[in-house]
Structure 1
């Protein structure tokens, strides 16, 4: 009872002093609070300034301009109308349009990787570096099927980004998106890898996207997606949006694809891909059951191009392509990517399923034709 009374009196005295003269009470020394280490003993990272500081100088702003014919009223181009009024009202006019995007310097020689849709059909391309320098750029080549383009500037002492090993990346890894959203200037946003290997989105012909929730907006296209070490993970290329703004679903072309396409463009001026000459669709569980296939995998051949590689090998509509050179085919998108990686004129063994039986055929791979207008 004596202890309880003493404690009560002490608390009462402390309460009165804290109200009347708080300066009499002892104070703790202030300082910077750091995050404690996790279970593994490694301190929790609370800043990514090192990665941003390393990557930002190599990310550029790209400004493009092109001349567009503005169609005037048809009456102004009518010869009868011109006979009486001449050209005083004018005819077709040329208007200059501009757009902006981002790019990544990947070589000290001045090569910059960006999206094809950023520089496509541009008459002028200007690149602005983070250090304030600007220069005109020329297009080295482009690949519309992956939406990748390579441009070049003639400048020295250029900062560059190293390519990350995307094969080690996992869902949940932290990434930074760097670009020029809405033309406000270079901006860094943070997120995580939401998914890997996204395809069948209808964005590009060949799709293997990294999905991220890092904020990506118009102007970010062609910019860098980097890991926490400041290495290039991918090129930001598209967002899912109903309003034009970021909804937390962005897509980036992985750096492995970027490097393959970039090397081919610099070396050969374009990308050469294999071609089978078929139209395919996914094998659904319902289709698998109707074909008496054990599980739903592979690509159902819905059409065959006459005199194409598949036609010459004896493939026909209704066959199901199960494996290419021993590698199982997951679906039609996977089949397209596997075929594209094969070299033209190579003879490749493929496993197909026909009339309830599996059999092998040998196909001489063709060269994928370029689509008209590309």
Structure 2
């Protein structure tokens, strides 16, 4: 009986281990086929700087620092106390060839402000590259080298990437050329702070400085992303890496190749996430969509009739589950194209047709607008005043009332702070203290209602419940 059990255990162990072995991917052929099209990128940026000598020595004009001091402090001959020199910072990154005639994709931050870009090929040739175009918003740059019959990567469809599938990266972390690391896709359509126009592919592939701009391959040997960022507290890899989807990168590269710049769609709204409390205050069954906190003056959104307090739940037929989904969708729409925007307004769903505009340069989206003083207390247990012209201009607010004092009560419980400008309450625009008092007096006692405020220039909605 013991013998039979032992045999059974051995057979089971062999079955399990062989199954695990069969499940693991084989990367060797992929690396052999793909690595010739991966390149190392180095940049040179020359800056005029001044080297600081020894300020305690005040030498007469024309006199040199004595050699003994020069040797001790490693000051080059011919240097005085403060001598101009050329500083030559260098950076390293990766890239990959997408055409036989020498077009190469990499990250914007790899080549930004470079005076010279050097590409080292798999056969160890070094060629100077021309920067055809570079887009900061997507962190994609297109380079060109003078060469022909180059090996190229296979470009895959990043929209088909699935969480859990194996992926592989080739790059030059810390200058170690053609290093290969592997892992799985951890998430797709990931939004990052200050990176609103890229739905990143998140992986657990080990990425470090020098990997930037390198390709992310699927098991078919197709590039589905450009390795771009890591999340780290140490400066090194911590298990979270982010790649620019290849479909986004190719769209950007095509525009860079044609015009040297990228044009994106623009809706003209400032949005925020819909929390559970806000969803309740707007009468939604669950928190989803993008809440319009501000409609920018003169924007496509204003022209189409979108309103502050609208919750955008779809864009051109694509569901908007989180607020970060919206910029990805809008940015990829060509300007002057009509798009259908699904919104929840007053608890009812409706569709709005918007003619998408051209995204302005950073800082040019906001316009200035224009309002006097008085004070009051109310059911929120706050003190307010009329909006003056100074605050109108400073926070770009056209109307509202300013919170001057917050005492214990419903206002404090909702998160109101001194200096907040209340512009809308329960769907009603607030243009004066009189209007505010009227709206507050009609608020229900137990139901949460949405309140729009502008805090230090940033519009947002917060839920308000009186009891």
Matched, 1:357 2:348: yes
Q: Does 1:50 align with 2:50?
A: no
Counterpart contact for 2:271–2:323, Cα < 8 Å:
yes
- Which residue number in structure 1 is paired with residue 122 of structure 2? 130
Contact 1:175/1:190 (<8 A) preserved? yes
Match of 1:187 in 2: 179
Distance 2:84 2:349 in 1: 62
Residue correspondence of structure 1 range 192-203 to structure 2 within 5 A:
192-199=184-191, 201-202=192-193
TM-score w.r.t. length of structure 1: 0.81
Counterpart mapping for 1:290-329 below 5 A = 290-329=281-320
Separation of aligned partners in 1, 2:234 and 2:355: 47
Aligned positions of 1:16-165 closer than 5 A: 38=19, 47-70=26-49, 85=61, 88-90=80-82, 93-165=85-157
Measured at CA, do residues 266 and 303 of structure 1 come closer, stay the same or move farther in structure 2, by a change above 3 Å?
same
Q: Tell whether the 8 Å contact from 1:147 to 1:204 is kept in structure 2 after alignment.
A: no
Distance 1:320 1:366 in 2: 20
What is the rounded CA distance, in whole Å, between the counterparts of 2:348 and 2:237 in structure 1? 49
Residue in structure 1 matched with residue 200 of structure 2 by the alignment: 209
Q: CA deviation at 1:38?
A: 4.8
What's the CA shift for 1:43? 5.3
Question: What does 1:337-352 align with in structure 2 at a 5 Å threshold?
Answer: 337-352=328-343
CA drift at 1:341: 2.0
CA distance in 2, matches of 1:53, 1:134: 21
Q: Confirm whether residue 271 of structure 1 aligns to residue 250 of structure 2.
A: no
What is the root-mean-square deviation of aligned Cα atoms in Å?
Answer: 2.9
How much does 1:37 deviate? Answer: 6.7
Residue by residue over 1:147-194, the C-alpha shift from the partner in whole angstroms, topping out at 9 and shown as x without a partner, is: 000001001221100112333332222211100010122211121222
8 Å CA contact retained: 1:65, 1:125: yes
Equivalents in 2 of 1:349, 1:195: separation in Å? Answer: 27
Q: Aligned with 1:262: secondary structure?
A: helix
Whole-angstrom CA distance in 2 between matches of 1:103 and 1:189 = 15
For residues 211 and 298 of structure 1, what CA distance do their matches in structure 2 show?
Answer: 22
After superposing on structure 2, the runs of 4+ consecutive aligned residues of structure 1 that deviate more than 6 Å are none
For this pair of structures, how many residues does the alignment match? Answer: 332
Gaps of 5+ in 2: 1-13, 63-78, 365-467
> What is the DSSP-based 3-state SS (H/G/I as helix, E as strand, rest coil) of the residue aligned with 2:195?
coil
Distance in structure 2 (CA, Å) of the matches to 1:363 and 1:43: 52
Alignment partner of 2:230 out of 223, 239, 260: 239
CA contact (8 A) 1:111 1:152 kept: yes
By how many angstroms is 1:329 displaced? 2.0
Q: 1:358 to 1:140 in 2, by over 3 A?
A: same
**SS of corresponding position for 2:99:** coil
Counterpart in 1 of 2:396? none
Higher relative contact order (CA 8 A, sep 6+): 1
What is the CA deviation profile of residues 77-131 of structure 1, one whole-angstrom value per residue up to 9, with x for unaligned ones? Answer: xxxx99x859954465441111100001011110000000000000000000111
Give the 3-state SS of the residue equivalent to 2:302 in structure 1: helix
Q: Distance in 2 between matches of 1:357 and 1:230?
A: 47
Q: Structure 1's 366 and 236: CA in aligned 2 closer, same or farther, altered over 3 A?
A: same
Distance 1:189 1:364 in 2: 44
| Cα distance change on mapping 1:319 and 1:46 into 2, 3 Å | closer
Contact 1:51 / 1:227 at 8 angstroms: preserved in 2?
no
Give 1:56 shift: 0.7
- Within the candidate set 156, 159, 176, 2:168 is matched to 176
Distance, in Å, in 2 between the alignment partners of 1:180 and 1:152 is: 20
